[in-house]
Structure 1
């Protein structure tokens, strides 16, 4: 009887095109998340990942709740990414302590967001200033 090759299952996409990626620590789960994205959102998240990695030596990465997280100690996190239909939401978990604050308010006590869309590209200089400051502030335990 001939053997059947089974195709690798595709990554399930959740609301807004956010990929369902297994929870894990390190760069590999984050790269799997990025690889599962499509269109302009993949380019945006890849660029954000590269900027954070370059700007914050020794940054720790993980995927939890289908979102890449970035932190300094592997237990607390200063930044997270979540893909939506029309934008990529970058969460600065202690964003209300940043000066100036990222532009989008949050229902949570300390967070602020930056939305990056295909029409509104990333302001790299402003983003990097927030990343530097956020990486030096206490992270959020998640």
Structure 2
């Protein structure tokens, strides 16, 4: 999930409508057109099947409630979260058996999220159906990540 490093999160409020049935990619990840703002992210969340939808909405709500003026977009068939002028700090993606949350500067978080990445600074959190999300820890990571220069 690397970016050019010069891209910055923006607060555009465009809401690209999703026409027709959404195609599900591997792991039931919705194929949603790229777009800036909450509208495309909500379209992505609406298209997630099964238990993953409720968990994805939980993540979105926690991020939105804890990062004032959070920027949102859909890029590469995943919702991205950022802070205007700082860049993107988090994204998640549907995998067959879990949601894969990517903290782009995860190695700078305390404690470091549990799952390593091939990308040097990225760390992951896997959210499973049958395991409760530690909301306090997730929110702590989100708050820390949102204060770091983003991807």
TM-score, L = length of structure 2: 0.86
Which one of 103, 107, 128 corresponds to residue 117 of structure 1?
128
Residue 108 (structure 1) aligned with residue 119 (structure 2): yes
| 5+ long unaligned stretches in structure 1 | 1-7
Which one of 55, 80, 99 corresponds to residue 91 of structure 2?
80
Q: CA RMSD in A?
A: 1.1
Q: Residues of 1 paired with 2:91 and 2:129: CA distance? A: 19
Q: Which moved more, 1:74-83 or 1:38-47?
A: 74-83
Which one of 71, 81, 95 corresponds to residue 106 of structure 2?
95
Which runs of at least 4 in structure 1 moved beyond 2 Å after TM superposition? none
Q: Counterpart of 1:51 in 2: which secondary structure?
A: helix
Q: Which residue of 1 aligns with 2:12?
A: none
Give the conservation status (yes or no) of the 8 Å contact 1:53–1:59: yes
Which one of 62, 67, 90 corresponds to residue 56 of structure 1?
67
Instruction: Using CA pairs under 8 Å that are at least 6 residues apart, name the structure with larger relative contact order, 1 or 2.
Output: 2
The number of residue pairs the alignment matches comes to: 133
Larger radius of gyration: 1
| 5+ long unaligned stretches in structure 2 | 1-18
